């Protein structure tokens, strides 16, 4: 059974950089798209971006200037870096796998981490 | 960006009821829509993808329909454990977007 686990600091100061890592177990990171999704307190879900195992990325334009996702295939991990954070970046950050139904040619998020609460505060 | 509007935002129902949640897209997304269930303090859980395909091991009390711009999630025989917030997500074009959620109270 595939499992994803987020790790990293739970408190980040304004203007500094948020850094999280997602460790994938029970399966390989190869061959899939891996994403970060966040949820501010009491609000809905926001897609941050994805990385493919070969390094290809795609980011939400609303965050593109501040975000970078990287992968370490040897460790079966991928990471999120979000720079110049403000209080608006306070959220639960989820990592997730994008699965594919090749017959239907459609995608979905089938495995999620439990979420990492990140607070931006001085 | 494609906007997804869910209705209603809040739904109160009783045990045994059947409920329907609607998700409308700001432009056509074919059948590239997924539904998720999120219980308090937990990560979202995939219920349905491709607008109408039930994920393996998800109870058949959940069903989805629609294509293009209008989609529905139907839950029959409501039970207390169905208390959750339900989200639709479009995976037709980037950036992927979610509906604002429908909070279901039993």
> What digits encode the pLDDT tens for the residues A49-103?
999 988 899 999 999 899 999 999 899 999 999 999 999 999 999 999 999 888 8
- Angle, alpha carbons A26-B41-B37 (nearest 5°): 75
- Mean pLDDT, residues B52-80: 96
Of A45, A49, A104, Cβ closest to residue B50: A104
* pLDDT mean across residues, chain B: 96
- Is the model's pLDDT at B45 over the cut of 90? yes
Look at residue A41 and give its three-state secondary structure. coil
Dist CA B82 CA A13 (whole Å): 38
Q: Which structure tokens are listed for A44?
A: 């809905």
Chain B residue numbers with beta carbons less than 8 Å from the beta carbon of A95 are none
- Is the model's pLDDT at A105 over the cut of 90? no
pLDDT for position A53: 83
Chain B residue numbers with beta carbons less than 8 Å from the beta carbon of A59 are 95
* Interface probe, candidates B38, B39, B87, B95, chain A, greatest A C-beta count within 10 A: B95
- Is the model's pLDDT at A117 over the cut of 90? yes
Dist CA A48 CA A59 (whole Å): 6
Q: In whole angstroms, how large is the CA radius of gyration of chain A?
A: 14
Is the bond preceding residue B8 a cis peptide, omega within 30 degrees?
A: yes
Dist CA A106 CA B30 (whole Å): 10
CB contact under 8 A, A44 and B87: yes
A2 Cβ neighbours under 8 A, 6+ residues apart: A24, A25, A26, A27, A97, A111
Look at residue B62 and give its three-state secondary structure. strand
User: Sheet containing A77-82: which strands, arranged edge to edge?
Assistant: A3-7, A18-25, A77-82, A67-72
Give the pLDDT confidence of A21-57 residue by residue, as tens digits: 999 999 999 999 999 999 999 999 999 999 998 889 9
pLDDT for position A103: 86
CB contact under 8 A, B91 and A115: no
CB contact under 8 A, B87 and A101: no
pLDDT for position B106: 86
Dist CA B77 CA A58 (whole Å): 40
pLDDT for position B77: 96
- Is the model's pLDDT at B29 over the cut of 90? yes
Q: What pLDDT band is residue A18 in, cutting at 50, 70 and 90?
A: very high
E-state strands within A60-102: 67-72, 77-82, 91-101
* DSSP output for B13-54: --TT--EEEEEEESS--TT-EEEEEE-TTS--EEEEETTTEE
Q: Give the closest-approach CA distance of B17 to chain A in angstroms.
A: 26
pLDDT for position A54: 85
Range A78-101 burial, b when 16+ CB lie within 10 A, else e = bbbebeebeeebbbbbbbbbbbbe
């Amino acid at each position: 059974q595939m499992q994803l686990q987020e790790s990293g600091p739970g408190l980040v100061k304004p203007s500094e950089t948020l850094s999280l890592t997602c460790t994938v177990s029970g399966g390989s990171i190869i061959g899939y798209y891996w994403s970060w999704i966040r949820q501010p307190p009491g609000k809905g879900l926001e897609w941050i971006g994805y990385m493919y195992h070969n390094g290809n990325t795609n980011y939400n334009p609303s965050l593109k200037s501040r975000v970078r996702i990287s992968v370490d295939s040897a460790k079966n991990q991928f990471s999120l870096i979000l720079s110049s954070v403000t209080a608006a970046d306070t959220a639960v950050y989820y990592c997730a796998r994008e699965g594919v139904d090749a017959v239907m040619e459609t995608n979905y998020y089938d495995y999620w981490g439990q979420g990492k609460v990140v607070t931006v505060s001085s | 960006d494609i906007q997804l509007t869910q209705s209603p935002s809040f739904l109160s129902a009783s045990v045994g009821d059947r409920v329907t949640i609607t998700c409308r897209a700001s432009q056509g997304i074919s059948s590239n829509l997924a539904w998720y269930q999120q219980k308090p303090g937990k990560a979202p859980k995939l219920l349905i993808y491709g607008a109408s395909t039930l994920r393996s091991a998800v109870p058949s009390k959940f069903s989805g329909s629609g294509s293009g711009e209008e989609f529905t999630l139907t839950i029959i025989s409501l039970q207390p454990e169905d208390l959750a917030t339900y989200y639709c997500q479009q995976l037709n074009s980037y950036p992927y977007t979610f509906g604002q959620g429908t909070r279901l109270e039993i």
